[in-house]
Structure 1
């Protein structure tokens, strides 16, 4: 599986991959009215995709505030280290400490972050609702030293 910078031509495939993830994991909790816009936030600094045989199996982005966002791997590609490779690609590209936040419901993601050395630095309540209809509990993580 190759990881490369996302191009505009990848956006439809990224939306299809996100739809697969949303069906299984309900990420994002609410399907966005403009999924392409959701994948391309206004403060986007870069985005990468994991691709095999011209199929997008994973995605990650980083904001100008050095926050990892929009990270997902399709169910078909899980268990192959794709998420860790996507995160590693961002870290190598920006060469600076990073941060991320994850809902407490994202137990598999939390296990991954902690396994690869990220540390929880705090928790807050989100303005959006989790799958139970309550304000989501967000855990904030900081990357390990470069």
Structure 2
């Protein structure tokens, strides 16, 4: 598996990987009307992918304010440290602490972050709804 910066030619493969994740995990909860746009929020500065044999198996983005966004790993690539490798790539490119938000429904993601030394610093309600149709509970983390 190779981790590298994402480029515009990768977008169709990123959307395909996102579709696999959404089908397996409902991340994002609802399929976006514009998946390209969802993968490119307005404050995105960089994005990395995990790629092998032309297929994208993981993705992570970084915003201007050092927030990790759009981190996902396809079901086929789980258990291979892909998420850790993606986060390591971001850490290598950024000085200082990183932050992220994760829905309380993302139990596997929460367990991964906490095993990796990320520290929960608070929680809040989102302006979008979770799978139960309620405002999602977001946990806020900072990097080790």
1:1-146 correspondence to structure 2 within 5 Å? 1-144=1-144
Q: Shift of the alpha carbon at 1:42?
A: 0.8
Counterpart secondary structure, 1:11? helix
Counterpart secondary structure, 2:110? helix
Deviations for 1:62-102, whole angstroms, at most 9, x for unmatched residues? 00011000000000000000001101110111122100000
Moved over 2 A (4+): none
2:74 and 2:60 mapped to 1: Cα distance?
12
1:87 and 1:138 mapped to 2: Cα distance?
20
Deviations for 1:27-85, whole angstroms, at most 9, x for unmatched residues? 00011110000001110110000001111000000000110000000000000000011
Counterpart secondary structure, 2:97? coil
Counterpart secondary structure, 1:13? helix
Counterpart secondary structure, 1:21? helix
Normalized against structure 1, the TM-score is what? 0.97
Q: Show structure 1 runs of 5+ residues with no match.
A: none
